[in-house]
Amino acid sequence: MTPVLQARGLVKRYGHVVALDGADFDLMPGEVLAVIGDNGAGKTSLIKALTGALQPDEGEILLDGKSVRIRNPLEARRLGIETVYQELAVAASLDIATNLFLGRELRKPGLLGTIFRKLDKKRMREESANHMADLKIGLRSLTQPVESLSGGQRQGVAVARAVAWARHVVVMDEPTAALGVKESGQVLDMIKRVRDRGMPVVLISHNMPHVFEIADRIHVQRLGRRVAQIKPGDHSMAEVVAIMTGALQVSEGKSVVTDKDAAEAIGL
Ligand SMILES: Nc1ncnc2c1ncn2[C@@H]1O[C@H](COP(=O)(O)OP(=O)(O)OP(=O)(O)O)[C@@H](O)[C@H]1O
Single pTM value for the model:
0.84
Lowest mean per-residue pLDDT among 56-70, 156-170, 213-227: 156-170
Mean pLDDT score, 209-232: 95
Ligand 1 neighbourhood includes 207 CB (under 6 angstroms): no
Ligand 1 neighbourhood includes 40 CB (under 6 angstroms): yes
| Ligand 1 geometric centre to CA of 214 (Å) | 25
| Ligand 1 geometric centre to CA of 90 (Å) | 24
Ligand 1 neighbourhood includes 56 CB (under 6 angstroms): no
**pLDDT of 20 strictly over 60:** yes
For the chain, the domains span 5-234, 238-268
| Ligand 1 geometric centre to CA of 71 (Å) | 20
Homologous superfamily in CATH for domain 5-234: P-loop containing nucleotide triphosphate hydrolases (3.40.50.300)
Residue 253 confidence class, pLDDT cut points 50, 70, 90? low
Nearest CA to ligand 1 atom 30: 40
Q: How far apart are CA 228 and CA 143, in angstroms?
A: 45
| Beta-sheet strand order (sheet of 32-37) | 81-84, 169-173, 201-204, 32-37, 217-222, 225-230
Ligand 1 neighbourhood includes 19 CB (under 6 angstroms): yes
